[in-house]
């Protein structure tokens, strides 16, 4: 069993801890939670390419540690420019986050991240509905609400699966 790198710097966010736990966990533990995490569950847009790289590497049966992720991001052109520098910082924060490396950590952090995203979804939906009520045609309002409701139900189901509240 490898010992994870001790955390350096300020207290990491839950998203950083999730990414750190995914890169330190066994591939089977990562595979079990990845389908239940949507890319937009991560609020930080610079963290999303890292999650994407982890998905790609795990699905390809390749190592998914920090070095492999950095290499995949570099090969994909996602570490260049200002956005790439921000992504690189998030990656380094995740590598040095001190995230737990046991088999339960990815699911634990994923539950917290997906729950936060669920609440953000409702906040955004509320703001969107207020704006839509003022600017959209009446015929478009109910379809907007139905689509948003359907997406919220799917999100709630992913969260229930992570929490073990329903059968997978």
Sign for the pseudo-dihedral over CA of 43, 48, 54, 59: positive
| Confidence (pTM) | 0.88
pLDDT of 6 reads 59
Residues 66-110: tens digit of each pLDDT: 999 999 999 999 999 999 999 999 999 999 998 877 889 999 999
Cα 153 to Cα 117: distance, rounded to the nearest angstrom: 13
pLDDT of 2 reads 56
For the domain 14-163, what is the CATH superfamily, name and number? DNAb Helicase; Chain A (1.10.860.10)
pLDDT level of residue 11 (50, 70, 90 thresholds): confident
DSSP state of 4: P
pLDDT of 8 reads 61
Domain boundaries, the chain: 14-163
Compute the average pLDDT of residues 128-148.
96
pLDDT of 41 reads 98
Cα 19 to Cα 145: distance, rounded to the nearest angstrom: 32
Alpha-carbon dihedral 113, 44, 144, 140, rounded to 10 degrees: 170
């Amino acid at each position: 069993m490898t010992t994870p790198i001790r955390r350096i710097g300020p207290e990491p966010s839950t998203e950083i801890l999730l990414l750190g736990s995914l890169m330190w966990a066994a591939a089977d533990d990562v595979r079990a939670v990845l389908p239940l995490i949507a890319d937009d569950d991560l609020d930080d847009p610079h963290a999303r390419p890292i999650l994407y790289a982890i998905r790609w590497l795990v699905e390809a049966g390749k190592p998914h540690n920090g070095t492999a992720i950095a290499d995949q991001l570099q090969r994909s052109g996602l570490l260049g420019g200002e956005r790439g520098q921000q992504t690189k910082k998030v990656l380094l924060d995740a590598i040095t986050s001190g995230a737990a490396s046991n088999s339960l950590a990815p699911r634990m952090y994923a539950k917290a991240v997906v729950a936060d995203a669920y609440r953000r979804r409702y906040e955004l939906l509320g703001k969107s509905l207020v704006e839509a009520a003022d600017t959209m045609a009446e015929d478009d309002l109910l379809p907007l609400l139905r689509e948003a409701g359907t997406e919220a139900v799917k999100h709630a189901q992913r969260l229930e699966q992570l929490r073990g509240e329903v059968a997978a």
